Amino acid sequence: MNVFVAGASGAIGRPLVAELIRRGHAVTGMTRSEAGAEALSTLSAAVVRASAFDAPDLEKALRESKAEVVIDELTALPKSPADMAGAAEGDRKLRVEGGGNLLTAARACGVRRYVQQASGFFLRPGPGLGDESEGMAVDATPRVSIHARTYAELEARVLNADGIEGVALRYGFYYGPGTWYHPDGASADMVRRQQVPIIGDGGGVWSWVHIEDAALATADALTIPPGVYHVVDDDPSPVSAWLPAFARAVGAAPPPQVTVEQALATAGEDAVYYGTRLRGASNTKAKRVFGFKPRRLEWLAK
């Protein structure tokens, strides 16, 4: 199958391209950087140097690739989550405007299927783990609401696009090589510097996915029924459980603990939301439909 991957040199892009090629697909990877182009060439992918904001060039590249499936992994995330506030506007612009150009080009070129990166950690609050019928937390704290609305917009756009099969993969927080949550990642450095506290009771439940498991699930998405799927681990865990375990795994001291009031004063209400109110996601549908088998969150397995 001819597969076009946008964002192909990012954290999920590289293992995804490698897995698609391993399965025998012909892959064209889109990137803007020289380093990304070299990495994709090493994987034996065809490489397109293009910007998602250049609609005519993007359509030309997509048409030349003869793509049957487009996988949208476009992001503009910073190297550290500490810089996310400054990067958020550009990230949203790339996903919404750049991704919109990509979807328009895919439809113009007769692409059969479009796979959209979505989020499994901004679900609307509620009891237990949310399934795929749950919407995004669009009425949460300010920055969380913006992220949630972005993902809701991306999902609605791809699932309601005429003439193309839409698949939205709601990934958990990535961990593993090349991500923030790895011993040499930015979050590990922040934890070692005691910059990531447990807020209040640490009751916010985070859903995770190893970057290689996310790549495997995305490769499976070429043939699964259209719709929304949670690509997350089996054991969504509260901050009070995963953060101390992560600290141990990266050689850090136990994380500090602060009250909600202290966190509001120093870090703001979005940090409090992440620490106390995030809702975990259920992966039952992905396991049932395409046999998704995520590994256990490695820090809790130790």
Could you tell me the two tokens for 25?
A: 């697909």
Measure the CA–CA gap between 206 and 96, rounded to whole angstroms.
Answer: 25
CB-based burial label for 61 (10 Å; 0-12, 13-18, 19+):
buried
Please name each of the domains of the chain with its CATH number.
2-179+208-233+280-297 (3.40.50.720)
90 has a pLDDT exceeding 70: yes
Give the whole-number percent of the chain exceeding pLDDT 90: 93
* Mean pLDDT computed over 255-265: 98
pLDDT bracket for residue 183 (50, 70, 90)? very high
Q: Find the DSSP H helices in the chain.
A: 13-22, 34-42, 55-65, 84-93, 99-108, 142-159, 186-192, 211-220, 239-249, 260-266, 269-276, 284-290, 298-301
Nearest to 47 by CA among 63, 67, 27: 27
Per residue in 45-58, pLDDT (tens digit) is 999 999 999 999 99
The pLDDT of residue 302 is 59
pLDDT, mean of residues 27-45:
90
**What is the pLDDT at residue 16?**
97
> Can you give 142-180 as a three-state secondary structure string?
HHHHHHHHHHHHHHHHHHCCCCCEEEEEEECEEECCCCC
Please state the rounded mean pLDDT for residues 74-102.
94
pLDDT of 35? 85
- Span 197-241, pLDDT tens digits: 999 999 999 999 999 999 999 999 999 999 999 999 998 999 999
Q: What is the pLDDT of residue 2?
A: 97
For tokens 């799927």, the residue is 229
Residue 113: CB partners within 8 Å, gap ≥ 6?
Answer: 68, 69, 70, 164, 165, 166, 167, 222, 226
As a whole number of angstroms, the distance between CA 239 and CA 276 comes to 8
Q: What is the pLDDT of residue 298?
A: 83
> What confidence tier does 300 reach under pLDDT thresholds 50, 70, 90?
confident
